[in-house]
Structure 1
Amino acid sequence: MNKTEYLNRLDEQKKIQELMKGDKYTLNFHLIPPSGWLNDPNGLCQFNGVNHIYYQYTPFDATWGMKLWGHYTTEDWITYKEYEPFIFSDIEDDRDGVYSGSAFIKNNEFYFYYTGNVKHTDKKYDYISAGREQNTILIKSKDGFTYKEKKTLLKNIDYPKNMSCHVRDPQIFEKNDNYYMVLGARNLDDVGCILIYQSKDLENWDYHMTLTTPEKFGYMWECPNIIEISGQTFLICCPQGVEQQGIDYANIYQCGYFPLELDLEKKEYKFGDFIELDRGFDIYAPQTFLDENNRRILIGWMGIPDADYTNQPTIDKGWQHALTLPRELKANGKKIYQLPLEEYKKLRGEVQKTLDCSAENVELNFEFITCKNFNLTLRDSISLTYDGSIFTLDLEKCGFGRKTRSVKLKNLIDIQIFLDNSSIEIFLNSGEEVFTSRCYSKNLEANPKFSGEYTLNDFKWYELKKFEILK
């Protein structure tokens, strides 16, 4: 979809937006699509104090369609500005969609890298070994809003010969006076892996090395980020094709990270064990960036592809999916901890200590002295339980196919919950474990009820204000 085609359909978008008005399940402190469908966050960066949030966007269809890059900005994480789509599908090398990518800022200029999708239809293809182009494309911009041209950097022929047609989602980092591009990939043996390319100028790239686990861990690794926190290197990625093991790897596709020892000069590496980043039903394609205060910030897609549960209530209103609350990442050894940004405290109303909580959009905080077991019900339909070793989220009454997700937890020290109209984000033990999910309760009043064998040091809650979205 090029810009002209988009502009010619704006009346159609207005009709969808009218349908969205008054939807009880719209989200008040999360970013949702202006209309239609949203998925992966893309191009996350901060420039001159402004945070840019691009995202996969299909304006006219709530279930799928031709992908563009939508665009929000914010300076304070509370007030946002919505813009028309930033990247349209308007060249041969991205004719079937502007897929995911990232931003890198150098010398006061944005470098946007993304995957241009092309699917051939002249004959029957499997679109794995043949029939699909995954073109790595560069856009340079002085302001993050406009650009003059697109430059294709890598095509299928430029990837290693044993790669399938699934190579995508470029991310850039700088190390030892070199630039490195990270791409998620699937090889012809159906093994997930990461390709790394090297450059001196951000435009001319040479293949450098491939990363994969000694034993196969899924057939495709999507949305890679190689980052460093407190001296520890991590590879965040989304492996597809990993089978469930007990309560682990319960989603159809995984979202997590490997602690990583990586020597780029010697081309040597060693993976630690894969750790799930989030144990909820609706988390995928996270992307991170360093802000101007040197915080490592993560935003994820509050959704997942090909799930057997749905978001039918919002689909019926013309929209689907959202972005997670942005989170600051910290590391404790080889473990990543996540907590909502400090800025979200500005959403809080007056602190409340009473159990009488009829508010709908709330933050709830529990701090325990001891906790042998704990049961919490919200909205008469969301159940959280801890039995001394396993924490479980049960959404069977309001999940539209979502049932339970669990995690092993040695101790329950604290719980922080963000409850929006149709989402819940749970942070356990100061971000040691996180659950992100959509949920569709009939009654949206929080109405917390809890029981168990525990001693509370503190319980408090806050009603939360809405984001302000400027257009």
Structure 2
Amino acid sequence: MMNDKDLRQQAYQAVEKSLKTAQQDPYRQGFHMTPPVGLLNDPNGWIQWQGKYHMYFQWMPFHTGHGAKLWGHYSSDNLVDWKLEPIALTPSDWFDKNGCYSGSSIDHDNKLKVFYTGNVRNDKGDRETYQCLAESDNGIDFIKKGVQVELPEGYTAHFRDPKVWNHDGKWYMVIGAQTLEKEGTVAFFESDNLEEWTHKGELAGPVDGLGYMWECPDAFQLDGKDVLIFSPQGVKAQGIDFNNQYQTGYVIGKIDYENGKMEHGGFTELDRGFEFYAPQSMVDEKGRRLLVGWMGVPDQGEEHHPTIKHHWIHNLTLPRELRLEQGNLYQLPVEEMKQLREEKLFEQAVGSEISHDIARTSELIIETEGSLDHLELKLFDFLTMSYSKEEGYLTLERPNLASEETERRSCRLIEGVKHVQVFIDRSSVEIFINKGKEVFTTRMFADPEKRLLKVKQKGKEQLKLTAWKLKDNCIQQDISNWYNK
């Protein structure tokens, strides 16, 4: 096991060695949080604290595979421009020596406190898991406080990703878990002081057909309803539903805090695209519930990403505001995303078909007063979004990253297409349908030289298409203050 100082120095050297190569990649993102080098996955400790937004993240700086993760760190004043901060946590203690896994942040006693999972492999290679605490006075430098929760009876060591919040003066924690019967569930804990935790049982699960492990649970109240977001593994595809390797979705209901149970409805996928997993939400100082997800899925073709040869892989989504409408979670790009707009490229009506060259960092908005009978949007001769009112489905198509055969993701959209907002970065697309009722998040590795956008529509309604060029230098990755700062 390497000590904290040596791990930080080695990470610094890994970034220093490969950062220029990573930044020269034509697929390098312009306004999405990416790892400086190496692999990024789950967002962690997402919080606005003392006026500043902090996004910590799972990070492997030494290569583009998984392993004993660190906590990387970005900060922002405006949700648009992000600054890479020094490493927050390293796997340098007995209780986290094989990885500082995912967790959450709270503000308590003027300190930023992060609860995270310490991953350990014993001498036999068996997994051990510990829920740990670290504290900071400035959001950057952390002191570990050690193990707070050990594995209770009734679960395998797949027990991780604590999310902590306060309700009516008490502290609560949910943890993604697997029962001894190999079923996914969410464990529920209560504390009066953030030090002594009582296991109250399962907040939700197991549920027949809903997988063998539930990762990254996130429980919160929104517009008077309780919401539980989680990422189940082992759910079988059902028609157009659950087509990714692993899923992310939510249930809505009511938490009985006294008895530690949640009555809830059915599980609904949160995002319908090819790459979305392990999201985390928080409430900012404006009272908004903001969510960010990982633009990736575990075990789903990572080895075929073309960015690997440039020594990096994956990124996070844009921040999204969650709203509860008609019994469903809606996701909207936060208002601050308008600050990305550098230049309006065009605004015009579309009769039946138009073609335009656009920037590789762009925003598109399609609006209509009614609903369209048929819509097709083709981007860079690579990605196609199509809707047929007769069929009632909206579908996204792209070449498979391994086989190049066409693959699809779809959602039901009986009410038709009324509004589409698209954020295009150099290797990703986020599509918000009907003001966030459905969202498609997807990596897009089109030929970097391609610029062509094609839009077709049929029907009596008038369609307006607006396009902006977006800023492409929002992620500042200066590491000069990292070591011996």
Distance 1:382 1:398, change over 3 A: farther
Structure 2 residue matching 1:113: 3-state secondary structure: strand
Q: Which residue of 2 aligns with 1:356?
A: 356
Distance 1:375 1:178, change over 3 A: same
Q: Which residue of 2 aligns with 1:133?
A: 128
1:453 aligns with 2:445: no
Q: Which residue of 2 aligns with 1:62?
A: 64
Q: Give the Å deviation of 1:176.
A: 1.9
Structure 1 residue matching 2:410: 3-state secondary structure: strand
Comparing 209-218 and 91-100, the one that deviates more: 209-218
Q: Does the 8 Å CA contact 1:173/1:179 hold for their aligned counterparts?
A: yes
Q: Give the Å deviation of 1:80.
A: 1.7
Q: Give the Å deviation of 1:214.
A: 4.8
Q: Which residue of 1 aligns with 2:379?
A: 378
Q: Give the Å deviation of 1:215.
A: 2.8
Q: Does the 8 Å CA contact 1:25/1:314 hold for their aligned counterparts?
A: yes
- Number of aligned residue pairs: 461
2:168 to 176, 183, 202: 176
In the alignment, the residues of structure 1 paired with residue 144 and residue 122 of structure 2 have an alpha-carbon distance, to the nearest angstrom, of 24
Pairs within 5 Å for 1:116-195 = 116-122=118-124, 131-156=126-151, 159=152, 161-195=153-187
Q: Which residue of 2 aligns with 1:307?
A: 300
Q: Give the Å deviation of 1:240.
A: 0.5
Pairs within 5 Å for 1:42-441 = 42-122=44-124, 131-156=126-151, 159=152, 161-210=153-202, 211-308=204-301, 310-351=303-344, 352-353=346-347, 355-368=355-368, 369-388=370-389, 389-396=392-399, 403-410=407-414, 411-441=416-446
Q: Give the Å deviation of 1:213.
A: 4.5
Q: Give the Å deviation of 1:269.
A: 2.7
Q: Give the Å deviation of 1:449.
A: 1.0
Distance 1:460 1:310, change over 3 A: farther
Cα distance per residue 1:404-443 (max 9 Å; x no partner):
1111111111111111110010000000000001111114
Structure 2 residue matching 1:316: 3-state secondary structure: helix
Comparing 383-392 and 257-266, the one that deviates more: 257-266
Q: Give the Å deviation of 1:62.
A: 1.1
Comparing 263-272 and 78-87, the one that deviates more: 263-272
Q: Does the 8 Å CA contact 1:382/1:398 hold for their aligned counterparts?
A: no
Structure 2 residue matching 1:94: 3-state secondary structure: coil
Cα distance per residue 1:233-270 (max 9 Å; x no partner):
11000001110000000001001101122111143431
TM-score, scaled to structure 2: 0.91
In the alignment, the residues of structure 1 paired with residue 476 and residue 23 of structure 2 have an alpha-carbon distance, to the nearest angstrom, of 14
RMSD (CA atoms) = 1.7
Q: Does the 8 Å CA contact 2:116/2:162 hold for their aligned counterparts?
A: yes
Q: Give the Å deviation of 1:153.
A: 0.8
In the alignment, the residues of structure 1 paired with residue 402 and residue 365 of structure 2 have an alpha-carbon distance, to the nearest angstrom, of 23
Q: Which residue of 1 aligns with 2:481?
A: none
Runs (5+) with no aligned partner, structure 1: 126-130
Comparing 447-456 and 56-65, the one that deviates more: 447-456
TM-score, scaled to structure 1: 0.94
Structure 1 residue matching 2:95: 3-state secondary structure: helix
Cα distance per residue 1:6-26 (max 9 Å; x no partner):
304533332211221321000
Q: Give the Å deviation of 1:78.
A: 2.1
